[in-house]
Amino acid sequence: MDRKAKAVVCREWGQPVQVETITVEGPKRDEITLRIGACGVCHSDLSATTGKIPYPPPLVLGHEAAGVVVEVGEGVTAFKEGDHVVSSFISMCGKCRQCVRGRPVLCENARNAMFTLPDGTVRTKDANGEPLNVFGACGVMAEYATMHVDNCVKVDDTVPMQNAALVGCAVMTGVGAVFNTAKVEPGSRTAVFGIGGVGLNAIQGCATAGAEMIVAVDSNPGKLEMAKQFGATHTININEVDDAAKAVKKLTGGVDYAFECVGAGAVVEQAYKSLGRGGTAVVVGVADPKDKTAITTLTLPADERVLKGSWLGSARPQHDFPRILGLYKAGKLKLDELVTRTYSIDDAAQAFDDMVAGKNARGVIVFD
């Protein structure tokens, strides 16, 4: 059935987000409709409103949500009404070469589901009946969302929605970059550049992995304080040093793992320069498609350095989302502390402004 829903929409790049009442159609084959409980506000949503992530407007934002299934389409067996679900902004077909070799975030069919559902159509339309694209085949910054099951992960229904939501992006991305992409060993020396929702989770991932040194690098003193609460052993304010990479190197002798959680080639260079011999720099931030990075080529062989990327924390979402919630329930990962502030959907523009101002670990939109 069709449902009316308030939704956060980007109408035009460079303009503030708008809250509109849209129509969400019921599920077709292999789709489900969710009533959304909570949706985190991620920098990637902001990047979609500026065109840095060039998904065409009009676009329903949101890719980091938890909700409850209210309707299932034909052929759906893995979900039933009442199940709790976390969104995955990466569609995983489960059948292509990348999926079957255990790399679902690289699914060969995911490119069909960037701003529409996998079949290239959408279930969302505005008050004039015009179709609305959906961020990452999700568009979950809305009261309801109809999604393909390949973008949905069933989770423990005892975890509060506002905590479970964050596993869909910030937590999986940050913790997964440490656990899955880098495979940080106990006793490692690590540095995290950019302490937003993603970087804080890289910090707590390093702490859980038993890193000996965890250096947090940011320009915002409030973020550096938060980093300490999540396990940073040292902090560097980039405004108080000439060169952040040199400052990390001086403190640590060169790190084994550096995580770039900003999304800028210049910061990737710093992360790479902060490495010691045998070190790995992991690029997590999403840069503008035209952005470039320069590194000293000789250091790759002579130091056996590694420069690699991490997409949704190299997750296997069906396995890792529940696993992360298990670590939270066991007291090994902090989720409550990540939610600095909750907003009603009517205050969505404020939530984006607060992210730009660096006020929150994560701001989360909660629905009644």
Residues engaged in binding ligand NAD (CB under 6 A): 42-44, 47, 169, 173, 193-199, 217-220, 223, 238, 261-263, 267, 284-286, 310-312, 355, 358
Q: What are phi and psi of 123, to 5 degrees?
A: -105, 15
Least Cβ distance, residue 38 to ligand NAD (angstroms)? 16
Nearer residue to ligand NAD within complex by CB, 68 or 238: 238
Residue 218 near which of Zn ion, ligand NAD, none (CB within 5-8 Å, type-dependent): ligand NAD
Least Cβ distance, residue 21 to ligand NAD (angstroms)? 27
- CA distance linking residue 166 with residue 313, whole number of Å: 13
Q: Is the dihedral of CA 219, 224, 230, 231 positive or negative?
A: positive
For 85, 147, 272, 275, 368, the CA distances from 167, given in Å and listed in that order, are 11, 17, 27, 29, 20
- Which residues are CB-contacts of 160 (< 8 A; sequence separation ≥ 6)? 38
Shortest-Cβ-distance residue relative to ligand NAD? 196
Shortest-Cβ-distance residue relative to Zn ion? 42
Nearer residue to ligand NAD within complex by CB, 24 or 39: 39
Least Cβ distance, residue 346 to ligand NAD (angstroms)? 22
DSSP 9: E
* Pairing label, strands 339-343, 362-366: parallel
Least Cβ distance, residue 228 to Zn ion (angstroms)? 24
- Which residues are CB-contacts of 136 (< 8 A; sequence separation ≥ 6)? 63, 87, 89, 90, 113, 114, 115, 151
Nearer residue to Zn ion within complex by CB, 23 or 340: 340
Least Cβ distance, residue 120 to ligand NAD (angstroms)? 23
DSSP lists the bridge partners of residue 152 as 87
Nearer residue to Zn ion within complex by CB, 289 or 331: 289
Nearer residue to Zn ion within complex by CB, 211 or 282: 282
Residue 198 near which of Zn ion, ligand NAD, none (CB within 5-8 Å, type-dependent): ligand NAD
Least Cβ distance, residue 92 to Zn ion (angstroms)? 16
Nearer residue to ligand NAD within complex by CB, 27 or 317: 317
Within 98-218, strands assigned E span 124-125, 133-134, 144-148, 152-155, 189-193, 213-218
Residue 310 near which of Zn ion, ligand NAD, none (CB within 5-8 Å, type-dependent): ligand NAD
Asked if 151 and 128 touch (Cβ cutoff 8 Å), the reply is no
The site for Zn ion (CB under 5 A) is made up of 42, 44, 169
- CA distance linking residue 137 with residue 115, whole number of Å: 5
